[in-house]
Homo-oligomer: A and B are copies of this chain.
Amino acid sequence: MAEHGGDLDRAMARFGGSDHDWIDLSTGINRRPWPMVPPPDGAWRRLPTAQDHAQLMAAARAAWGVHPGLAGVALAGAQGAIQMIPFLRPPGCARVLAPTYNEHAANLAACGWRVAECATLAALQGADLAVVVNPNNPDGQTHSPEALHALAGEVGLLVVDESFGDAAPALSLLPEDGTALVLRSFGKFWGLAGLRLGFAFGPPALVGSLRAMAGPWPVSGAAIAAGVAALPDRDWADATRQQLAFDAVRADGLALRAGWDLAGGTTLFRLYDTGDGAVAQERLARHHIWSRIFPHSPRWLRLGLPGPEEEWKRLTVALSGAPSG
């Protein structure tokens, strides 16, 4: 299985400590989550109904201003869509704008697609299936809706993964009609990744195929209840966007003083050029702060943003001390 952030198991195996000792900054999951309320008893007990799904989709459409020409489906995270995308078309030539989230290329290749990783949007042209993560993980690279709409006409199927789109709403393809398949995550921005909730929007026939593959009950009653309550909470979303922007600048200040350079990121995670990612990861890990490094770019370290003030204090100490032990 591909490596991922959130693998605190590995951190504990290498550096000791238990769950409660660690601050997990190895993901882009917001550590100032929407205040989850346990769902009503019925959400545990009964199967979600068509009405439950309709309410959830209405909340998602309103939150993201989804164009009425696009169909949508709720899934077990954006990952739920990534698992099914290889089956939407007969395997052919897929191109993925890279480096990026490793599950896109891995799943396509596992299902018989010939997968090439490309460095520019232009290089994706002509592919049977192209994948762009916007904004990109881990480097935060962004593309305009215009550029992506144009690209959609030059490939068989364009997949735009907007998993970190809530940090940069102006980039979203969702407010306009189009042919791309657009993925959204709920867990990252709302900080509730354990719920397993995400969405795919696109042309009705394409989304119909995803819906058929996902079956009647792909998401839990708790995920539906949380989505229906949290997605319309615009005050929380606006305040969170501001807080995350502030936090990103704060993290950059600590990193720069530690001798790292900003290499990119979104306001849900930062990417630093640390000179040696493995050394930088170990430096943080000695303070029980977990981060993410990448085999393809050994100088990089990706860092989520701390939440409560005591987490900021620990990060400050970790980055103020001697650079290596």
- Check A8 for interface membership: any CB of B closer than 8 A: yes
- Closest Cβ neighbor of A225 among chain B residues: B194
| A42 touching B29 in the complex, CB below 8 Å, given contacts A213-B83, A216-B1 | no
With a cutoff of 8 Å between Cβ atoms, the chain B residues found around residue A194 in the complex are: 42-48, 220-222
Q: How many copies does the complex hold?
A: 2
Interface residues on A, range: 35 or more
CB of A61 within 8 Å of the partner chain:
no
Stretch at the interface among A72-80, A142-150, A256-264: A72-80
**Residues in chain B near residue A64, CB distance under 8 A:** none
Nearest residue, chain B, Cβ from A36:
B44
Task: Indicate if A294 sits at the interface (CB-CB under 8 A).
Answer: no
Given known contacts A42-B194, A212-B110, A215-B83, A49 and B8 CB-to-CB distance under 8 angstroms: yes
Q: Mark A1-32, 1 if CB is under 8 A from B, else 0.
A: 11011111100000000010000100101010
Sampled A-B contacts (13; CB under 8 Å): A6-B47, A43-B194, A44-B192, A47-B187, A76-B196, A76-B217, A76-B220, A77-B217, A83-B213, A195-B220, A195-B221, A196-B220, A220-B220
Sample of 19 more A-B contacts, CB < 8 Å, known A6-B49, A8-B46 = A5-B47, A33-B45, A36-B41, A36-B44, A42-B194, A44-B194, A45-B194, A77-B217, A79-B215, A83-B213, A83-B214, A87-B87, A194-B221, A195-B221, A196-B217, A196-B218, A196-B219, A196-B220, A220-B222
